[in-house]
Amino acid sequence: MLEDPIKIGPIVLAPFNLPLKRRLQTLGALYYSFMTFFFPFINMFLCFYLLFFKSYWWVLGLYSIFYIYDFKTPRNGGRPSHFVQRSIIHKWFADYFPIKLIKTADLPPDQNYLLGYHPHGVISIGAISTFGTAAVGVFEKFAGLKIRVATLWGNFIVPLRREFLLAYGLIDCSRESLEHVLSSEEKGNAVVLAIGGAEEAIEAHPGGLEVLTLQRRKGFIKVALRSGAHLVPVFGFGENELFTQLENPEGSRIRSVQKFVKKLTGVTPMLFYGRGVFNYSFGYLPYRVPLNIVVGRPIPVEKVEEPTDEQIDELHARYVEALTELFESNKEKYGVIKDAELIVS
């Protein structure tokens, strides 16, 4: 029998007698948080250390040759490692929430697919864990598909960490990269793209209000038309509940700084917190909130070499309609109140 959590002032500590299974799940979450938030800085420090303070500069030199040679791999389909994707630690991480993958229709491998993931959340945990690893059975449920998860090119700049991302099947989210994969004559390719991006991430607040940045996002529609890839809406119920983001309403100083930095660097700084390893009150681990990733039905797309604005708008409207229907038909099953609406801005 579990002990009750220990409360010391505003801090709630985890019980001491947690079972091994729970501890392994927390280890999985700690691993993910470390690789996401701290590993890039350790990479940069290590490179600097080897270059200036140790006689191992030649190791960095050899890696630099490989880095230059391999520079375009994130735009040329990536380099996923099935060994890495099937590691047991990803299963521990998925069970931490837990994450479940709900399939509503088949995706036959005789087509290519562009899956739009919504909402982006703070760091799209559902997208990466579900489609970048084997933790919840994606390779069995969608057998025959070669799945990639698209992210910003800047994530591949940091040495060593880029190899970690490539091993998870991540690729660059540029049009060039997406079309390279989706225009392939060899079918069965699928790319998962968190369409809302950084603009949607700053709207990721717990509480059931799902605000999507989608109305002006039509580049993915053009990619689908040019490649003939079928569109598939995906909704991650619970994605916005994983962290508490500092309040940043329109007009606030925090929102102004976020917009300024994004305009300057292309990256939006996120101010958020979750829980800790040994406490439930504060830290950088996500909350233990169920994540239900629902994959909708594919929207057939005919290939058009040079789509018109009318064709793009028509397919975009069909996609928004399909996504809204997916949300409405599943929201009550996965913890969203009946009256909740999807806000598409």
Higher-confidence position of 3 and 262: 262
Model pLDDT, residue 176:
96
Q: Is the pLDDT of residue 208 over 70?
A: no
* 78, 170 contact by CB (below 8 A): yes
Angle at 60 between CA 59 and CA 66, to 5 degrees: 95
Range from 50-54, 58-62, 304-308 carrying the lowest mean pLDDT: 50-54
Residue 238 neighbours by CB under 8 Å, 6+ apart? 97, 126, 289, 290, 291, 292, 334, 335
Model pLDDT, residue 297:
97
Model pLDDT, residue 220:
97
Sheet strands (E) in the chain: 6-8, 11-13, 99-103, 113-118, 146-151, 170-172, 189-194, 210-212, 230-237, 244-245, 272-273, 291-295, 342-344
Cβ burial, residue 56 (10 Å; 0-12/13-18/19+) = exposed
* 254, 247 contact by CB (below 8 A): yes
Q: What is d(CA 13, CA 10) in angstroms, rounded to the nearest whole number?
A: 10
Q: What is d(CA 24, CA 95) in angstroms, rounded to the nearest whole number?
A: 9
Kindly indicate the confidence band of residue 75, based on its pLDDT and cuts at 50, 70 and 90.
very high
Strands 113-118 and 99-103: what pairing?
A: unpaired
Kindly indicate the confidence band of residue 198, based on its pLDDT and cuts at 50, 70 and 90.
confident
Q: What one-letter code names the amino acid at 142?
A: F
- Tokens, residue 102: 């709900």
Q: What is d(CA 258, CA 187) in angstroms, rounded to the nearest whole number?
A: 40
Model pLDDT, residue 8:
83
* 281, 300 contact by CB (below 8 A): no
Q: Is the pLDDT of residue 1 over 60?
A: no
- pLDDT (tens digit per residue) in 250-268: 889 998 988 888 888 777 8
Share above pLDDT 90 across residues of the chain, in percent, rounded to a whole number: 71
Model pLDDT, residue 3:
61
- pLDDT (tens digit per residue) in 9-40: 788 888 888 899 999 999 999 999 999 999 98
Model pLDDT, residue 96:
97
- pLDDT (tens digit per residue) in 127-176: 999 999 999 999 999 999 999 999 999 899 988 899 999 999 999 999 99
Higher-confidence position of 293 and 260: 293
